[in-house]
Structure 1
C-alpha cells in the first residue's frame, strides 16, 4: 500500500536531476506536468522545497496544502500520502535527505523534550529559505554544477537551528531500531494486518512492548495509527481515482462499510462522497 521512499525517483515525474555522493543521491530537483499520487514510507528525514505549483500531503488527521515557496519537513518514520495537484504548467520541487550528522546536531539544539517521529511540519518560508532555494535552482540549471555536500549540510544545519524547537525535534526524532525494523516490514501491508499480535510479530516484540514503543514514537496505539493510515490512503484514492467508494474501503483494509463511513467522517469531518467532491 505504501512504497519505500529511499530514493527520489517516483512514478509520474516528467524530469528529475539528482546530486549524488558515494553512490547515493542526497538532493534532487523534480518536476511533474500531470497530476500524480503516491503513498510513501519515509525512513529518513526529507526536506521539501516547493518551487512551483501545489500539492497535498496527507498525514493522519492533517491535510497540508502546500504552495509555491513553502518549506516542508517530513521526519523519519513518517507514512504519508502525497498528491500533486493539476499543474497549470508544471509542479517542481527540491528535496533533500537529511543525514544522521544533521539529525544529531538538531537533537543537541532541541532541548530535553521528547524527540517526536513521524510528525510532519510546514516551516515558515523566510528570506533565508528563499535565498537558499534560488541558489539551488541556479545550481540545478547549470550542467555539472553541484555545491560541496559538507557546505550544503552546514547551511541547512544553520537554517534549521534558527527554527522553533518543534522543528528541530522533528528533524532529530526517529523510531528506535526495533520500530524501524518493524516499519520496514509493515509499510506495504498496512491494509492486511488485523491483530495487534500480527504487528508485534513483524518487529519481533511482545504486544506490550509494541504498544509502549508506539506510544513513545507516534503518541497513539498501534491500531489507532494503522486505522489512520488506512483512512489517509482512502482519502487520497477518493480524490485521485474513479474507484467506487466501497471498493476503496475494502482495498484499504476496511471490512465493514458502516465502520468505514463512521471513521472517515470522524477523521475528515465529512462523508467520503462529499470529500470526493469538495474543493479543499
Structure 2
C-alpha cells in the first residue's frame, strides 16, 4: 500500500541530484515536469523545501497545500500521501534527511519540559531565514559540485531553524526517542486488513497496554483511532487522484461498512466523499 521512502528517487521524476554521507543519500534536489502521486512510509525525519510549483500532502485528517517557499517537516515513521499537481512550470523541491542522533542531541525541549506537538507533518511558518537557506542549497546544487557542502554544517543549520519552535523540537525528540518501526513497517502494507488492537501490538512485539501508552505519548490518541484516521487519509487521496468508485475506495482502504465510511468521512472533513472529490482548493488547509 505504502512505498518505503529509503531513497529520494521516486516515480515520475524528470531529474534528481543527491548528496551522500558515508554511502547514504542525505539531500536531494528533484524536478517534476508532470503530475505525480506517491504513497510513502517515511522512516526518517525529512525536511521538504518547495522551490517551485505546488503539491498536496495528505496526513490523516489534514491536507497540506504547499506552494513555492513553503517548508514541510515530516517526522520519522510517518505514513503520507503526496500529490504533485499538474504544474504550469516544473515542480522543484529540496529534501533533507535529519539524523536521529543529532535530533536527540538537542536536550533543550526535554530540560524545559516543553509540551510537544502531536506527531504529524508540520508546515513551518514562512521566514526569510528559510528562503535564504533554500537559496544557499540551490547554489550548491546549481554548480554541480563534485563534493557537496559539509554535511554537519548543513544539518546543524537546518536543526537550528527547526528548533526555533520548541514545541516542534520536542515533538521530533519524542518521535525519535519512542519509535515504532516494526509496527509502522507492517502497517504500511497491511493497514487495510488490521481489525484488532491485539494484532497491532503483536506487530511491535509488545503488550496492548504498552502499545496504547506509546501511541498516547506520541500521537495523543489510541492506536485504532490512528488507524481509522490513516484509512480516511488514503480514501481522501484516492478520491482526488483516481476515478475509482467510492464504494471500491471505501472497501480497499479497510472499511467494511459503507454507512460507517460515509459517517466517519463527514465527521472528519465536514463534506461527503463525493463533495470532496469535486471540491476546489478551498477545502484544503495549510
Q: TM-score, normalised by structure 1?
A: 0.94
Pairing 1:56–2:30 present = no
Contact 2:178–2:218 (Cα < 8 Å) also in 1: no
- Closer, same or farther: CA 30–178 of 1 in aligned 2, 3 Å: closer
Contact 1:9 1:16 in 2 (8 A): yes
Count of residues paired in the alignment: 279
Aligned to 1:196: 197
Gaps of 5+ in 2: 282-286
Q: Quick one: structure 1 residues 170 and 77, their matched pair in 2 at CA, closer, same or farther if it must change by over 3 Å?
A: same
Supply the distance in 1 between the matched residues of 2:4 and 2:205 (Cα, whole angstroms): 21
Quote the Cα distance in structure 1 between the aligned partners of 2:156 and 2:196: 45
Pair 1:6-2:26 in alignment: no
Aligned to 1:164: 165
- Alignment deviations for residues 219-252 of structure 1 (CA, whole Å, 9 cap, x no partner): 1111110010010001000000111111111111
Alpha-carbon offset, residue 77 of structure 1:
2.2
Aligned to 1:150: 152
SS of residue matched to 1:174: helix
Q: Deviations over 1:14-42 (max 9, x none)?
A: 11111011110000001111111122222
Instruction: Note the C-alpha offset of 1:268.
Output: 1.1
Instruction: Find the residue that maps to 1:184 and give its secondary structure.
Output: helix
8 Å contact kept, 1:116–1:173 = no
Aligned to 1:93: 93
For residues 106 and 175 of structure 2, the distance between their equivalents in structure 1, rounded to whole angstroms, comes to 12
Contact 1:106–1:169, Cα closer than 8 Å, also in 2 = no
- Structure 1: which 5+ runs fail to align? none
SS in 1 for 2:152: helix
Q: Distance in 2 between matches of 1:13 and 1:74?
A: 20
Deviates most, 4-13 or 245-254: 4-13
How has the CA–CA distance of structure 1 residues 11 and 207 changed in structure 2, closer, same or farther, with 3 Å as cutoff?
A: same
